[in-house]
Amino acid sequence: MRQFKKIATHVVEGLFALSGSITSLAILLIVLFLFKEGMGLFQSSAVETGYVICINASNPVEQLTPVEIKEVFNWDITDWKALGGKEGEIVPFRFEEVFSLYSDEELGEDYALLPEKLTEAIVMEPNIIACVPQQYAPEMSHQVKILPVENIKLSSFLSGEEWMPTAHPAPQFGALPLIMGTLWISLFAILIALPLGLGVSIFLAELASEPVRKIVKPAIELLAGIPSVVYGFFGLAVIVPLIQRLFALPVGETAFTGSIILAIMALPTIITIAEDAMRNTPATVREASLGLGATRWQTIYRVVIPCSASGISAAVILGIGRAIGETMAVLMVTGNAAVMLHSLFEPARTVPATIAAELGEAPSGGAHYQSLFMLGCILFVITMIISILAEFVSKRKQTA
């Protein structure tokens, strides 16, 4: 019998070790896949895949940045002098315009003469800039110049202020508005949730009677199990109109609305962990404080809170992690606008919301698809930093 128990123990230990190994390997493979797909973005051309930018060979301009190409075709830049060329009005030319210049007969059977006609159109206009498919691009000659286009860079991805992944001919992958939107919404969510969560945790740990605590605490913990889409519906039906009326805003879907919803969603985590930390304060410490003549409130804010500061810090960090990773609720109430945030009362968009909204529409393997994986990498790094901070705070609590 003893031998059987010993064998069973070894089998159970082996199963646990195997389960842990498989889980660790799966996580490692997911992370590697995430970064492999995301880093592919920086091997992609800054111009839409399959297109090239052509200009007249007499034009002295040698290279354009993705932002400059976008502004030229959006008529934001209208003179070649602003791009380092000779003074002259820029003439943007899109590929489909060739069909209005030439008939089907002139373009030949199966558009065999299309490259020749495109060359002719470019040669006729010295100030032209044409975006054409690579398969129909004019051959390199002394009359036509194909501008070299650099690949997307990590620096421009992180610092770019425009997120327009479907713009033609130069998609803009500036993740800064999404990163800043995520951080600002999460930060203000914690600033709202922290005093409320700390107050409720103090009440449950120090002031509430045992019957009240047994009812209130499970009810608060149940809030963590409510699907995020339900919080989103609540925010859309109640918080959004309230914010719009209260602050006289044109729309109620703002970053501030998202912060309120995230604060509500982070409260159960903050309250539960902070309350447990306060209740774990040794009774002898409380008794010593009261024995020295301190009041109950003095004991709470001079003894209990400092003793449980590490646990409260861990609660705040985990609450931030909960807020940063939230998707559906934020997507529903923030206005989903990928612009730089100048005020909390403006629409915004977060990294998780962008991934959820756009991944289904992005062509697999394309730059847009890879850029969303790169956003996932950024989110992973942020979450990992938060997890490391939480682990550090927990260890500090154990050694204190």
Residue 334 · residue 253 · CB < 8 Å: yes
pLDDT above 80 (res 322):
no
Q: Which pLDDT does position 396 carry in this prediction?
A: 63
The residue ranges of DSSP E strands in the chain, in sequence order, are: 51-56, 91-94, 128-133, 144-146, 163-164, 172-173
Report the pLDDT averaged over residues 38-52: 88
- Prediction pTM value: 0.85
Nearest in space to 374 (alpha carbons), one of 355, 346, 350, 398: 355
Confidence of residue 9 (pLDDT cuts 50, 70, 90): confident
φ/ψ of residue 145, rounded to 5: -125, 125
Reported confidence tier of residue 23, pLDDT bands at 50, 70, 90: confident
- Sort strands 163-164 and 172-173 into parallel, antiparallel or unpaired: antiparallel
Q: Can you give the pLDDT at residue 187? A: 87
Token pair for 300 = 């709470």
Residue 101 has a pLDDT of: 87
pLDDT higher than threshold 70 for residue 245: yes
* pLDDT of 166: 86
| Model pLDDT, residue 393 | 65
Whole-angstrom Cα distance, residue 343 to residue 292? Answer: 49
For residue 347, the model assigns a pLDDT of: 93
The pLDDT of residue 376 is: 92
For the chain, the domains span 2-43, 51-150, 176-399
Cβ atoms 280, 308 nearer than 8 A: yes
Q: Which of 91-100, 316-325, 364-373 has the lowest mean pLDDT?
A: 316-325
Give the least confident one: 1-5, 149-153, 240-244, 309-313.
1-5
Q: Give the position of tokens 């009810």.
A: 219
For the cut 60, the answer to whether the pLDDT of residue 325 exceeds it is yes
Output the pLDDT for position 378. 92
Domain 51-150 carries which CATH code? 3.40.190.10
Q: Which of 203-217, 260-274, 307-321 has the lowest mean pLDDT?
A: 307-321
- Whether the per-residue pLDDT at 398 is higher than 80: the answer is no
Q: Binning pLDDT at 50, 70 and 90, where does residue 397 land?
A: low
Alpha carbon 143 to its chain centroid, in Å, reads 45
With 70 as the cut, is the pLDDT of residue 113 above it? yes
**Average pLDDT rounded to a whole number, residues 166-187:** 90
pLDDT at 395: 67
Domain boundaries 176-399, CATH class: mainly alpha
CA 114, CA 136: separation in Å to the nearest integer? 7
Residue 9 or 199, more confident? 199
